[in-house]
Amino acid sequence: MTEFQGAAAVSGGDLASDVTDETDPERRDPERARLRRLRGRARMTAQLACMTSDVPEAGTFRVELEGPSGTVEVAVVRDEDGALHAISDICSHGAVSLSDGEVEGCTVECWLHGSRFDLRTGEPLGPPAVRPVPVYPLTVDGERVLVDVDGAA
């Protein structure tokens, strides 16, 4: 037995984990560790998108999150009933920002050509858009809004 193995045996663990605990970034950042555990349990790769107070009543808040292929533009939207939703911020017809549009009921209107998208499904409710926009799983944890851009519906 080496003196390092002996030290680990005396301390009740192995020396590698004892040293790692002090330098482990998750140990220094408990919030990061908590989010990692949440991801593992829910099979989600949720990211902090914003705080609930950032999203106005019946309004939108634009964020950029990291997806598997790079940056994903997301509109976090509060509908008229106060529920939060996360959809792609890019209109499937005009390639403009949906977060610049008006919220009505549980829809958001594209400001350029007037297509409305259902916030729950991403489906367009009328022309000129005919393709849905991605909808992302959203979780509220206290004041934090977490969005999973890997789990688009």
Q: What is the CATH number of the domain that holds 80?
A: 2.102.10.10
Residue 6 pLDDT class (50, 70, 90 cuts) = very low
Say if residue 136 is in the same domain as residue 84.
Answer: yes
Say if residue 34 is in the same domain as residue 88.
Answer: no
Say if residue 142 is in the same domain as residue 72.
Answer: yes
Run of H or E residues at 107 = strand 107-109
Say if residue 29 is in the same domain as residue 100.
Answer: no
Sign of the alpha-carbon dihedral angle for 71, 112, 94, 60: positive
Considering only residues 96 and 42, tell me which one the structure prediction assigns the higher pLDDT.
96
In the prediction, which pLDDT does 8 show?
A: 39
Say if residue 10 is in the same domain as residue 27.
Answer: yes
- For residue 23, what are the domain limits? 3-42
Say if residue 101 is in the same domain as residue 28.
Answer: no
Q: 10 Å Cβ neighbour count for 8? A: 18
pTM: 0.71
Q: What is the pLDDT of residues 52-77, one digit of tens each?
A: 999 999 999 999 999 989 999 999 99
Name the phi and psi angles at 101, rounded to 5.
-90, 175
Say if residue 66 is in the same domain as residue 139.
Answer: yes
Is the pLDDT assigned to residue 17 strictly greater than 50? no
Total number of domains constituting the chain: 2
Q: What is the pLDDT of residues 113-123, one digit of tens each?
A: 999 999 999 99
